[in-house]
Structures are given as structure tokens and as C-alpha cells.
Amino acid sequence: MPYNSAPFSPGYNRGVIVSPGAASATATVTGATQTVCLTNLGANVCYIRFGETAPVVATTADYPVPGGAQVTITKPGDYSLMAHISAAGTSLHVMPGEGF
């Protein structure tokens, strides 16, 4: 996968807000993009994992998104499932797009 150094271009009208909790849950993210911007709107850390087919299960060994932080990560373009978990609960905004 080539490195994309373009500024992040959000996929407007495709963002979702999920509520990570103590049990892993799965959300659908547009699979046609390679970049996802994650904004943790809460104070507690959450963990995410992308996958191609169900089940996708997140654990505390997966990618952490600290409380109050925003990160932009890449994923395989055909992965459209995102698992999320947060022991203390939080709110996570997920915005697919392109660039970094």
C-alpha cells in the first residue's frame, strides 16, 4: 500500500458516532476508503480493530484512542467493520476519508 501524504479529506455525510462500552461491539465503516479519522469525544480510552468479515472483536491489546484525542489511521480499503471497546465507556466519532 503506497503512503498517502495528502491532507485528510473527510467523507462528509459518512461519519458515525459509536458508544464503546465494556463489551466489544461492531460498527460499519465505509469500506471504500483507506483512512479513518477517530475522535474520542469522551474522557476514557477506547480500543479499535478493523476487519473484513464478522466477527470482529476488539480487546485492550488493539489500537488505543485516548480520551479527548483525535487520531487518523489507515486500514485496508476493503475492511468495512470496526470493533470498539472501552472498559469505562466513551463516545467515539468515526469519519472515513482519504489522505493523512
Q: Per residue in 8-64, pLDDT tens?
A: 899 999 999 999 999 999 999 986 889 999 999 999 999 999 999 999 999 999 999
Domain assignment present for residue 77? The answer is: yes
Of 2-6, 67-71, 83-87, which range is least confident? 2-6
Residue type, 90: T
Domain count across the chain: 1
Domain assignment present for residue 28? The answer is: no
Taking the CA atoms of residue 64, residue 92, residue 12 and residue 14 in that order, the dihedral angle to the nearest 10 degrees is: 100
**Cα gap 27→75, rounded to integer Å:** 15
Give the count of beta carbons closer than 10 Å to the beta carbon of residue 80: 20
**pLDDT for position 2:** 53
Domain assignment present for residue 50? The answer is: yes
Domain assignment present for residue 79? The answer is: yes
Domain assignment present for residue 8? The answer is: no
Residue 52, domain extent: 34-88
Mean pLDDT of 63-89: 96
pLDDT band for 1, please (50, 70, 90 cuts): very low
Domain assignment present for residue 29? The answer is: no
pTM tops 0.85: yes
